[in-house]
Amino acid sequence: MGSGPQALWSGLISGQGRVVSTRSPESGQEVTAALVPRGTLDPRPGEDRALAMIRHTVEQLLRSEAWARVDPEQLGVFVGTTQGTIQTWTENQLRLQRAPGGAPPPWPWLADPARLVARLTGAGGPVECPSMACVSGTAALGFALQWIRSGRGPRWAVAGGVDAFSDMVHAGFRSLKAVDLNVPRPFDQRRRGLGAGEGAALLLLEGAEVPGAPRLLGWGLGGDANHLTGPHPEGLGLSRAISQALT
């Protein structure tokens, strides 16, 4: 959609799809996906793509008017991710294949995006990194709200999520026949799957009510452990989460 809240909003209301035929930022192979537009990021030498995206997002937050009210010592950070720094891991794996015999690289560091946000904002509160597949970023908002409401945690929270496009993850979804290679249509009877993409987003939550600002009224989280890739046919996990959010 672009960079910044206004670009996101304009893209949403335009009705134009962003899942297009493009080139993977990892391999250069042709893929159908929604990627961060070229030229948006200014990655530093050796910087993982996910970290470049979350750093770009934090820099926007620090320039916002709302940030002037924040006391970093009373700030918590909650950043969800599914893959963490998977680009770095992939590059290390390919390097190992070309020169076998070395130590295998560690799995992608899931907490690195949250650590980077905490360092850039100077947060003195809790730092959490929920990794719960597609709901990671949404769960981060819920955990942040829970901390603020508890009275034991921070007065403010930076919460959201980040994930970069990954050839490996994309291949996994394609093997499950879960990717629509054209335009995803989630509410259409002719739907054929999801659309791959990447992005980063952060919200600033505040314990005190701010006149005119949106409010996060509730949240819910439920799992049914029905199947690795399929929810319960009666939607038990979903209905439990909805009930919690409305309570």
Task: Give the model confidence (pLDDT) of 171-206 as tens digits.
Answer: 888 888 888 877 788 888 888 888 888 999 999 999
Residue 96's pLDDT is 80
Instruction: Report whether pLDDT(1) > 80.
Output: no
Helix axis angle, 112-121 to 49-62, nearest 10°: 30
Closest alpha carbon to 206 in 61, 6, 54, 57: 61
Highest mean pLDDT among 94-98, 135-139, 169-173: 135-139
Is 0.95 topped by the overall pTM? no
Mean pLDDT estimate for the chain: 88
Residue 127's pLDDT is 96
Give the rounded percent of residues in the chain with a pLDDT score beyond 70. Answer: 98
Closest alpha carbon to 165 in 177, 173, 157: 173
Instruction: Report whether pLDDT(79) > 80.
Output: yes
Residue 176's pLDDT is 86
Residue 22's pLDDT is 86
Helix axis angle, 167-175 to 86-98, nearest 10°: 90
Span 164-172, average pLDDT: 90
* 201-227 pLDDT tens trace: 999 999 888 888 888 999 999 888 888
In whole angstroms, give the CA distance from residue 138 to residue 222.
12
Reading the block at residue 138, the tokens are 């949404």
Residue 203's pLDDT is 95
Residue 231's pLDDT is 84
Instruction: Report whether pLDDT(51) > 90.
Output: yes
